[in-house]
Amino acid sequence: MKVLPFKIPKSSSDTLIIEQDEGDAFYDKLHQHQEIQLSYIVSGKGTFIVGDTIKNYEPNDILIFGSNVPHVLKSDEETSSSSKMISLFFSIDSYGSGFFELPEFQKTKYFLSKAELGIKLNNNQQQLKDKFISIANENKLKRFITFLEIIEILIGSEYETIASFSKKKLYSDNEGKRMSAVFELALNNFHRDISLDEVSNIATMTPNAFCRYFKQRTNKTFVQFLTEIRIENSCKLLSRNNELSIAEIAYQCGFKNISNYNRKFKSIKSATPTDYRRQMSLS
C-alpha cells in the first residue's frame, strides 16, 4: 500500500466499498483517499489524527473522514484486545453525478459538507453499530438500502467536527511520506524529548524550512502538535489508571515540569488534569 495517496481497492461494478480491518493494530500511516469514509470502531483503542487535530478513539466510536482529508489511526500498544474497524467508502458520484443533488438529499449534502474535515458522532452509536455489522453480509440491493438508513441516522445525530483548518491539501507521494514520517516519530516517541534537529532530519529538511513547511500544512507549529499528542495520551492515563499520580502521568507523557503540564492541559481541555480525572470517573 502506498503511504499517500491511499487507493481503496474496488472493482468497476462497486458503488459502495465495505472493508473490515482486524488485527493487532490498524493501518497506522498517514493517508488520504478520494472516497468519503464512514467507520465504526468495533474494538481497540488509540489515537487518530485528522488534518490538524489529534483525538482519542475507543470501541463504539463512529468516525467520518471527508474526501482527501489526511488521516491516520494509531492503536494503543498496551491494548489487550485486537483492533477491529468496519468502514464504508463511497464518493459523491458513486450512485450517479446527480444522486446527492436530489431534493430528498438536501440534509445529507449539508451533513457531508460538514464532514469534509472529519466528524465524530456523539450519539446513536448502538443503532449504527447494528447497521454496520449487518451491511457486510447483505446483497447489493439490501446494502444500498442499509446505506441509506445509515445516512438517515447520521444526519439526525449529534456530532462534533474534528479538524479546524479550512484548506485541504492533496499531498503528493513525497509530501505524504515526509508528513507520515513526522507523524510517526511524534506518535511513537511523544514520551521523550524530540529536538527540532531530529524531526527536521526525519523530514530531510533544514530546521527553518521544516518549521515553515509544517506550519503551512497543519496551521500549527510542531511543538504545538507534539504537545497536543502528549495531552491526548495523558487523558487516556487519567481516565484508565487511577493508581498513577498526575505528576507520574505528566512525566510518562513527555512533560518534565508539572506546572507546564497543568497549564498546557487546561489551555487545551479547558479543565485541570484533576478535574478531568474526576469528570471521567463520573461518566
**Average pLDDT for residues 276-280, to the nearest whole number?**
91
Average pLDDT, integer, range 37-62: 90
User: Interior CA angle at 189 toward 205 and 8, to 5°?
Assistant: 75
The average confidence (pLDDT) of the chain is 88
Q: For the chain, what's the residue count? A: 283
Report the candidate in 88, 103, 201, 95 with the shortest Cα–Cα distance to residue 146.
88
Report, as an integer, the average pLDDT of 123-130: 93
Long-range contact set of residues 103-112: C-beta below 8 Å, sequence gap at least 24: 107/155, 108/151, 108/155, 110/155, 111/151, 111/154, 111/155, 112/36, 112/66
Alpha-carbon distance of 110 to 151, in angstroms, equals 12
pLDDT at 176: 79
Q: Residue 134: pLDDT band by 50, 70, 90 thresholds?
A: very high
Which whole number is the average pLDDT over 10-25?
78
Give the pLDDT score at 253: 96
Residue 167 scores a pLDDT above 60: no
- φ/ψ of 254, rounded to 5, equals 100, 5
- Say what the pLDDT of residue 8 is: 61
Mean pLDDT calculated for residue range 154-174: 76
pLDDT at residue 14 above 50? yes
Predicted local distance difference test score (pLDDT) of residue 266: 96
**Cell reading at 99:** 444522486
Q: Label the pairing between strands 71-75 and 62-65.
A: unpaired
Distance CA 217, CA 204 (A): 16
Q: How confident is the model over 84-111, as a mean pLDDT?
A: 91
Angle at alpha carbon of residue 48, lines to 119 and 216, rounded to 5° = 85
Compute the distance between CA of residue 190 and CA of residue 154 in angstroms, rounded to an integer: 34
Q: What confidence category does residue 156 fall into, taking pLDDT thresholds of 50, 70 and 90?
A: very high
| For residues 153-181, average pLDDT | 79
According to the model, what pLDDT value does residue 2 have? 39
> Is the pLDDT confidence value at 26 over 70?
yes
Work out the percent of the chain whose per-residue pLDDT is above 70. Answer: 90
Confidence at residue 218, expressed as pLDDT on a 0 to 100 scale: 84
pLDDT in tens, 194-253: 999 999 999 999 999 999 999 988 889 999 999 999 999 999 999 988 889 999 999 999
Cell of 213: 513547511
- Give pLDDT, residue 1: 31
Q: State the pLDDT confidence band at 151, using cuts at 50, 70 and 90.
A: very high
* C-alpha to C-alpha distance for 163 and 155, rounded to whole angstroms: 19
Whether the per-residue pLDDT at 152 is higher than 60: the answer is yes
Of 138, 229, 241, which Cα lies nearest the Cα of 189? 229
Task: Count Cβ atoms below 10 Å from residue 66 Cβ, excluding itself.
Answer: 23
Domains of the chain: 17-161 (2.60.120.280), 173-282 (1.10.10.60)
Look up residue 246 and give its amino acid.
I
